Amino acid sequence: MTRIALASWGAVAPGLSDEVTWRSWAAAPAPLRGDVRPDVSFLPAMQRRRCDTLSRTMLAAVNACCDEPQRASALSVFASRHGSFATTVEMLESLARRQPLSPTNFSHSVHNTQAGLFSIWSGNQQVAQSLAARNETFQQGFLEAVCLLDRAGERPVLFVTGDEALPEPVAGLSDDPHPPYAVALLLWPEGGPGGALELTLEAEPAAGDAPAWPPAVEFLRWWLRGEKELRLPAAPGAFVWRANARVTPG
């Protein structure tokens, strides 16, 4: 079991981008449908042009989560199941037609694209990690953020997770079709600012039906509702979060 603190959050999903809309969704959650058009006017124009949907969505969530000094100093974890998948599919189609690849597309298709864009935008030279873990990407990414906190010293860890809608022709192959979304959480070691959280990994699988929205969004719903415990299925069985002594909910 590990104790940490959640200081602030930012999130983007269809129709939801600020604290007011997220709190009213959390009070009466419903499946998320549609597209996102995140406001990324905070990015320099040159960088903005190179951002695909996932990059825009994740960086908008980061911008809503933390201020400039926090962005410049935090260690970071970017977790996405599919990454810049539309760009990857576009390149696979080019290859199938024996057409040349765009060098910009190629260098912006790597799984750590968003981590790289974040570090350039914020001038952040700290550790940045990127990962995927199928339908456990949020849970295993959160664990990676906890691992990074262990070597972060006096710094916070910015945990960002999200995905874009799967493009044709692979959309029909997925077992978890979700709308585009991103959630950013600013985490501190135990005793840091914000609300206290415990994370425990259990070997017993979590029971119950999966919610009709991504695990990261379920986590945010749980946090905003001030509920005591959240269990999400993931290897080794279940990830269990407990909120306690919450002084100032983020």
Partner 1 sequence: MRSGCRLAALGMHCALGGGLDEIWPRLLAGDRSGLLQRDDLVPGETGWYAPARGTLPPLAPEFAEYDCRNNQLALSALEQIRDAVDAAIAAFGAHRVGVVVGSSTSGFSRAESAFRERERTGELPASFALAQLEFGGLSEFVARAAGAAGPRQCPSTACSTGAKALLTARSLLSLGFCDAVIAGAVDSLCGLTANGFGALHAVSARPTNPMSANRDGLTLGEGAALFLVTREPDGVQLLGGGESSDAHHMSAPHPQGRGAEQCMRGALADAGIAAAEIAYLNLHGTGTPQNDAMESAAVARVFEAGVPCSSTKPLVGHALGASGAIEAGFCWLVLERREGEGGVLRLPPHCWDGERDPEIAPLELVGADARLAAPAPVAVMTNSFGFGGSNCALVLGDARP
User: What residue ranges bind partner 1 (CB under 8 A)?
Assistant: 2, 50, 81-83, 88, 91-93, 95-98, 100-103, 106-113, 115-117, 119-120, 122-134, 136-137, 140-141, 143-144, 146-148, 150-151, 169-170, 173-174, 201, 203, 234-237
User: In the complex with partner 1, which residue's Cβ is closer, 17 or 119?
Assistant: 119
User: In the complex with partner 1, which residue's Cβ is closer, 28 or 154?
Assistant: 154
User: In the complex with partner 1, which residue's Cβ is closer, 57 or 114?
Assistant: 114
C-alpha distances in angstroms, 184 versus 59, 122, 171, 204? Answer: 9, 15, 25, 28
User: In the complex with partner 1, which residue's Cβ is closer, 205 or 226?
Assistant: 205
Smallest distance, Å, CB 23 to partner 1? 31
Buried b (16+ CB within 10 A) or exposed e, 53-80: bbbbbbbbbbbbbbeeebbebbbbbbbb
Smallest distance, Å, CB 15 to partner 1? 27
Tell me which long-range contacts 223-229 makes (C-beta under 8 A, separation of at least 24): 223/6, 223/9, 223/195, 223/249, 223/250, 224/22, 224/23, 224/26, 224/249, 225/26, 225/27
Smallest distance, Å, CB 84 to partner 1? 11
Smallest distance, Å, CB 61 to partner 1? 18
C-alpha distances in angstroms, 249 versus 34, 39, 186, 196? Answer: 29, 25, 13, 9
User: In the complex with partner 1, which residue's Cβ is closer, 18 or 190?
Assistant: 190
User: In the complex with partner 1, which residue's Cβ is closer, 40 or 131?
Assistant: 131
Smallest distance, Å, CB 81 to partner 1? 6
Smallest distance, Å, CB 41 to partner 1? 21
Smallest distance, Å, CB 24 to partner 1? 33
SS3 of 76-127: the string is EEEECCCCCHHHHHHHHHHHHCCCCCCHHHHHCCCCCHHHHHHHHHHCCCCC
Residues 27, 31, 36, 38: what is their CA dihedral angle, to the nearest 10 degrees? 20
User: In the complex with partner 1, which residue's Cβ is closer, 81 or 221?
Assistant: 81
Contact 9, 184 (CB under 8 A): yes
C-alpha distances in angstroms, 166 versus 88, 98, 244? Answer: 11, 23, 37
